[in-house]
Chains A and B, each alone.
Chain A
Amino acid sequence: MSALRILVPVKRVIDYAVKPRVNKAQTGVETAGVKHSMNPFDELSVEESVRIREKKSAPGGVEDITVISAGPTKAQDILRTAMAMGADRAIHVEVKEGEDLEPLSVAKLLKVAAEQHKSNLVILGKQSIDDDANQTGQMLAGLLGWPQATQASKVEFGENDSVSVTREVDGGSETLRAKLPMVITTDLRLNEPRYASLPNIMKAKKKPMEKKTLADFGITAERRLKVVKVTEPPVRQGGGKVEDVDGLVSKLKELGAI
């Protein structure tokens, strides 16, 4: 089996524990002065890559784990975190705050990165919790012409570059088998990401971080999509309580629901 060269895209997003607020201009979520961290699904991707190496679950071993992030300078923080978790190297593609890339541009960028790094496996989060687009992995597989397995809850390796991926689907799980090179996107049940230990945080400071621009990948940040307006969801009305089944039925009738 080929040795794995894993590419792990990661994104800096508003911390999952922060309650998002719509910005004044109603163009998106307020990001200024808000705590940011690595997209939780990307933590799963990093963790999975490191586990594949540690558990020696791929017969050919893991030759390289490269993390890549396109974003403002601050995105380097999450790249360091990923290296503290066990990634070998990082690529930071500088994109100014507010000039976010659309999923297709990210996919184009990752295609070039995967080719440049001779990656044979790309593990991405199924979505990032800011825009929740859930598109990048699929577009990337399309552009590369590689097989894809999305929403993985289990990844196993066999002989002759075969990979089995269990994925969550409505009503149960489904197992796909494909051959490297391939694209996998992660879902919450895949693993439980580790906390970086202090010695590994220190080691991560010495790991290489390449600094690039979009031009290095032959990409421009084209805008195909236009955000018209972002608003808070309407405040939910509190529900009422009923005593018993009869009460429920009469209430539903009263509301004209049945």
Chain B
Amino acid sequence: MATAGFTESQLTVRDAVSQLCARFPNTYWQEHDQTEQDPADFHAALARDGWLGIALPEALGGSGLGISEATMMMQTIAESGAGMAGAQSIHANVYATQPLAKFGTPNQLQRTIPNIISGKWRVCFGVTEPNTGLDTLRLSTIATKQADGSGYRVTGQKIWITCAQVAAKMILLARTTPLQEVRKPSEGLSLFCIDLDRSQPGLEMRRIKKMGGRAVDANEVFFDGYAIPADSLVGAEGQGFKIILHGMNAERCLLAGEALGLGYAALAKAAEYARNRNVFRRPIGQNQGIAHPLAEAYMRLEAAKLATYHAARLYDASKADESIRQDEIGVACNSAKYLAAEAAFAACERAVLTHGGMGYAVEYDVERYFRECLVPRIAPVSREMILNYVSEKVLRLPRSY
């Protein structure tokens, strides 16, 4: 990757994180992928050196950097060979804590954030539901307020919740007013930061078998009258959607960075193999049929990189500059996620093909990257929904759904 144009702090982050990641080589991730074992020591190593607090306020033990630096961190992690598995093992800790830090009460923050930064508590993010999918506003998990004021009882089902098995906390989006009783679907949603106490009644989870990133768990989570205290509510009741939007653009940037990292890692492996593998008594990379697609993959990654760090910069700058519009940031972050995911996919696919049969062997890593590179195309928002968004918001075309 060309590093011209990055700030000094981004380069410092890149350098320091890649040093740390060097202790967790590709073989570590191969093994964890095969045994489906959580990379707990990797999470712990990042926590010990303070990386989980990269974009959290200094007053709470964080380092007060922006999404521009956090994106660089996520890219560097994925690029080290840790891939999406490594990234996902900490992803929610970095970004789902953003709305909490912004809207939580001082007491909530003091209680939770330092424990998350130190790695004592891991976090997962619970939004997606099986029956509503991308139509987030129609989600139906409900948190019912108890008459005695003791708190809420949660009932409903979440799906694809990454790291729920190992998390102590969940940032949960649930309805506090049923859909039938609100004027607009965006109303009546509330955000909670809840304990995942498996010894309490009404909480079950089931691991989902999946294609890639097998080291980290993804789960169906079932709530059935699960009790949470009143002070798990983050921000005002009914304002959950607005609050969570704050984190979503940041998440798009982080995921774009993760996709880029995976793409660059795959490309590096492919180029190395193409230089060294001799068939017909010359390196396969001498064939333009091998070289050109790799060159193209590089240019796509570079272009997506510019889009990604542009979006992150806008996001960070908007904190001090009110002339930057929210929809402008939304378009930039969504575009970046889309472009980075597609560029990563192209690079990973090419990397497998470049390796020929060895591309299919676990030992060469690119099959793992390839399996993982579909995630940024699907989550947290699909390619189609981004195309819908840009059609509607930028091109002012009629909404199709």
A197-B19 in contact given A80-B12, A202-B63 (Cβ < 8 Å): no
Q: Is B51 an interface residue (CB 8 A)?
A: yes
Contacts of A202 in B (CB 8 A): 58, 63-65
Contact B16 A196 (CB under 8 A): yes
**Contact indicator A197/B12 (Cβ below 8 Å):** no
Cβ contact within 8 Å between B16 and A195: yes
Q: Any chain A CB within 8 A of the CB of B53?
A: yes
Q: A139: shortest Cβ distance to chain B, in Å?
A: 32
Q: Does B48 have its Cβ within 8 Å of any Cβ on chain A?
A: yes
Chain B nearest Cβ from A132, distance in angstroms: 23
Interface size classification for chain B: 10 to 19
Given contacts A80-B12, A202-B63, A197 and B54 within 8 Å (CB-CB): no
Kindly identify, within residues 177 to 222 of chain A, every residue whose CB is under 8 Å from any CB belonging to chain B. 195-202
The 4 A-B pairs of least Cβ separation, nearest first, read: A198-B50, A197-B49, A197-B50, A199-B50
A46 to chain B, nearest CB (A): 15
Chain A residues in the interface with B (C-beta under 8 A): 80, 195-202
Contact residues of B between 1 and 59, Cβ < 8 Å to A: 12-13, 16, 19-20, 48-51, 53-54, 58
| Bound-state Cα–Cα, A200 to B49, Å | 9
Across the interface, do A195 and B19 meet the contact criterion of CB distance under 8 Å? yes
A198 x B51 contact (CB < 8 A): yes
Q: Are A197 and B53 in contact (CB under 8 A)?
A: no
Contact residues in B for A198 (Cβ distance below 8 Å): 13, 16, 49-51, 53-54, 63
Known pairs A195-B49, A198-B53 / 6 extra A-B pairs, C-beta < 8 Å: A80-B12, A195-B20, A198-B13, A198-B50, A199-B63, A201-B12
Q: Which residues of B contact A200 (CB under 8 A)?
A: 50
Instruction: Report the Cα distance A121→B16, complex, angstroms.
Output: 29
Residue ID in chain B nearest A204 by CB atoms: B12
Q: How far is it, in angstroms, between the C-alpha of A198 and the C-alpha of B14 when the chains are bound? A: 11
Q: List, in ascending order, chain A residues with CB within 8 A of B20's CB.
A: 195
Contacts of B50 in A (CB 8 A): 197-200
Q: Once the chains are docked, how many angstroms separate the CA of A66 from the CA of B271?
A: 43
Closest to A203 in B: B63
> A196 vs B16: C-alpha distance in the bound complex, in angstroms?
7
Give Cα A202 to B12, complex, Å. Answer: 10
Across-interface contacts of B65 in A (CB, < 8 A)? 202
Residues of A within 8 A of B13 (CB): 198
Nearest CB in chain B: distance from A96 CB, A: 21
For B46, the closest partner residue in chain A by CB is: A198
Q: How far is the CB of A67 from chain B (nearest CB, A)?
A: 17
20 A-B interface contacts by CB (under 8 A): A80-B12, A195-B16, A195-B20, A195-B49, A196-B16, A197-B50, A198-B13, A198-B16, A198-B49, A198-B50, A198-B54, A199-B50, A199-B53, A199-B61, A199-B63, A201-B16, A202-B58, A202-B63, A202-B64, A202-B65
